[in-house]
Structure 1
Amino acid sequence: MTDERPPSELFQERLKVARDLRKWSQGDLANRAGMPPSSIAHFESGSRKPSFETLRRLANALEVTTDFLLGRVDDPSLAEAGDPLFRDIGKLTGHDRELAKDFLKMLAERTQAKNKEKEG
């Protein structure tokens, strides 16, 4: 079921969701996108709307697609094409691709184990 709200309303929510997924503060995102932290606060509150250039910079910084930020796709995992890591893996073939998958799996498991240590 698609959300029928206008993209401008969805954007403010999606921007915060994408930022939270990265575990970044508004200041972190602002630094990565090359803009003042107050701009991120305005976008998330809905008091300002981004220009096309700003939308592109935010999507690049968050490594998601503009489609996710605008509500055209609902699942951030569907925005994998916007992640440089996924683009680079797509260029690998055969054995190198398997090595990359194994390495990423190992890193993910290591991160998961560290998170469990922190919780317990």
Structure 2
Amino acid sequence: MEFKAERLIRLREQLGINKAEAARKLNMSAMGYGRYENGQREPSFQTVCYIASTFNTTSDYLYGLTDDPSPSTITISSSEDPEIFSFVNSMQKDKDLEKRLLAYFKKITQSENKQKKEKQ
């Protein structure tokens, strides 16, 4: 597998951040990050996974195995978002609660979609 530097650049640009900001988000030096974007150095698989997680994409996208940058999983950190973490944790523990909340979510999104269509 070969890392696709142009996809890293595309993701960074879509996030609206410069190289220095991307390096800070990834806890690496700007020079090291720049080498990944310039294709001078290929990141390890672990680093690619970390980049994918941080930039909300997949390692498959960064390796060119898929053209879909959408992640198939989401990691929720209790330290970064304690309310969402607690919410998801509660749903995992109580399947009845999960069913009720998902039904409510579906009603809300259906209502929002209907309103959007009516506005068009």
Provide TM-score, normalisation by structure 2: 0.62
Deviation at 1:25, TM superposition (A): 0.9
Matching residue of 1:95: 104
Q: Which entry has the higher C-alpha Rg, 1 or 2?
A: 2
Is the Cα–Cα contact under 8 Å of residues 15 and 44 in structure 1 kept in the other structure? yes
* Residue of 54, 64, 71 corresponding to 1:61: 54
**Length, aligned pairs only:** 90
Relative to structure 1, the CA distance from residue 42 to residue 82 in structure 2 (aligned partners, 3 Å threshold; closer, same or farther) is farther
Q: CA offsets, 1:33-54, max 9 Å, x none?
A: 1111111210011111101221
Partner secondary structure for residue 81 of structure 1: coil
CA distance in 2 between counterparts of 1:53 and 1:45 reads 19
Provide TM-score, normalisation by structure 1: 0.62
Partner secondary structure for residue 30 of structure 1: helix
Is the Cα–Cα contact under 8 Å of residues 13 and 44 in structure 1 kept in the other structure? yes
Q: Which runs of 4+ in 1 moved over 4 A?
A: 82-85
- Counterparts of residues 33-52 of structure 1 (less than 5 Å): 33-52=26-45
Relative to structure 1, the CA distance from residue 71 to residue 84 in structure 2 (aligned partners, 3 Å threshold; closer, same or farther) is same
Gaps of 5+ in 2: 77-87, 89-97, 114-120
Output the aligned Cα RMSD.
2.7
- Amino acid corresponding to residue 102 of structure 2 in structure 1: T
Relative to structure 1, the CA distance from residue 71 to residue 62 in structure 2 (aligned partners, 3 Å threshold; closer, same or farther) is same
Gaps of 5+ in 1: 1-5, 106-120
The sequence identity of aligned pairs, in percent, is 24
Relative to structure 1, the CA distance from residue 82 to residue 70 in structure 2 (aligned partners, 3 Å threshold; closer, same or farther) is farther
Matching residue of 2:116: none
Deviation at 1:84, TM superposition (A): 4.9
Partner secondary structure for residue 60 of structure 1: helix
CA distance in 1 between counterparts of 2:30 and 2:54 reads 14
